[in-house]
Amino acid sequence: MKLAVLTCGMLPIPAVQGGAVENLIDFYLEYNDCHKLHDITVYSPWNPKVKRQPALVSDVNHYHYIDVTSLIYRIARRIYSYFHQNEYYNYFIEYYFEKVYADLKKQDFDYIILENCDGYAYKLSQRGYKNIILHMHNERRPSRAMYDEKIYNNITKIITVSNFIKNSVPSFISKSTIQTVYNGIDLKCFNRKEVSPLHRSQLGFAADDFVIVYSGRINKEKGISELIEAMLQLESPKIKLMVLGSSFFDNSKDEDTFILSLKNKAKTIKKQIVFTGFIPYKNVPDYLHLADIAALPSMWDEPFGLTIVEALAAGLPLITTRSGGIPEICEGVATIVNRDNVVNNLASAILDLYNHPEKRKQMAAASIDRAKLFDKDVYAEKFFAAIKDIS
């Protein structure tokens, strides 16, 4: 089949600037390049870093770039904003879509895959398109409910990243139209190396420290503030916390006010907490392998939780929260706490694992076994099988 792939145009593909959705697209494009299943055109914002990516030489995956940084583009986008008010998205995304559509309408695609941009389904349906596949990575927004009928009645297939997201699709949509395909990661990247390039001493940890790792975006929804509050309740100076991540991918060079507030909150135990800042994705496994356990206490309804799978793949006993799609991933192999009274729940769970090394060993083995369900090739195979079901 001839397929088009569209994102909202915030980050480039290949995922040279990170991005969960962009990485997932890379995975199924890599699988398609290997197995020669479809002719795929990916529309992406331009970034100079993509020039060095070997993925661009594929004979089945094609990359159509929009230079969103040029002066002409920025001027035209601003002019566009004056004449297009109150549209589905902001004018940055709306104008990007129009530039993509200028090429899209010249092509004859069997299906158009929309990666987490249901607003494009609305715009395309207005222009007569019905061969639309929506890959939903987030819940539909109640504030856009007035568009539901127009969007969902013109979509051929909906692929959701979890059953939690599947259950958020409007009830008037036939369940046969919706299919859950769990996300995947490159499991090989998270295997422990015989010789690690990183050592605890480089981050100020001792060999006998009990190191908890938090990995992911640093914002209120991810529960890092509550995790630090739990650390404040613990009395052992040997329990340490390593915080991996920044507020927004690799674009965030300076600490924002939330990160500064976290450091201020942790002032009395600052010797027990290390903030690494942004870590390139390829280096994340090396940091995870320094830890004894992972704590990822999401405080919002996480659609899936890639960092959860990464912790499992690294063989880490995991503490997390009963949030969104997380239990689907790790129920039975992780300690899942309720968000009510979450600080006390986290503190208790940490102490439990700290005091029971045999339990940690059993959880680590179970984590590695569970992670096999979320291999990137398993994900890509099931993703393309879901598309094949409609052809």
- The CA-atom distances, in angstroms, between 104 and each of 41, 62, 101, 118, 141 are 10, 13, 5, 17, 26
Overall pTM > 0.85: yes
Bridge partners (DSSP) listed for residue 44: 65
At residue 152 the predicted structure's pLDDT band, cuts being 50, 70 and 90, is confident
Measured CA to CA, the distance from residue 295 to residue 212 in angstroms comes to 7
pLDDT of residue 391: 58
- The CA-atom distances, in angstroms, between 351 and each of 308, 331, 335 are 20, 20, 12
- H helices of the chain, where? 20-35, 71-83, 91-104, 118-126, 148-152, 163-166, 224-233, 257-265, 284-288, 306-313, 326-330, 342-355, 357-371, 376-388
pLDDT of residue 97: 96
For range 358-372, the mean pLDDT:
96
Ordered domains of the chain (ranges, CATH)? 2-184+376-388 (3.40.50.2000), 187-374 (3.40.50.2000)
Q: Which residues, 6+ apart, have CB-to-CB distance to 227 below 8 Å?
A: 212, 214, 241, 295, 297, 346
Tens of pLDDT, residues 107-123 = 999 999 999 999 999 99
Measured CA to CA, the distance from residue 311 to residue 304 in angstroms comes to 13
Phi and psi at 178, nearest 5°, equal: -105, 135
**Strand, helix or coil for residue 143:** helix
Question: Is residue 44 pLDDT above 60, yes or no?
Answer: yes
Measured CA to CA, the distance from residue 378 to residue 356 in angstroms comes to 34
Tens of pLDDT, residues 287-331 = 999 999 999 999 999 999 999 999 999 999 999 999 999 999 999
Tens of pLDDT, residues 84-115 = 888 888 899 999 999 999 999 999 999 999 99
Structure-token match 């890599």, residue found: 30
For range 45-74, the mean pLDDT:
95
| Closest residue by Cα to residue 222 from 247, 204, 200, 240 | 247
Measured CA to CA, the distance from residue 253 to residue 244 in angstroms comes to 14
Phi and psi at 385, nearest 5°, equal: -65, -35
pLDDT of residue 251: 42
Residue 352 tokens, joined: 């439990």
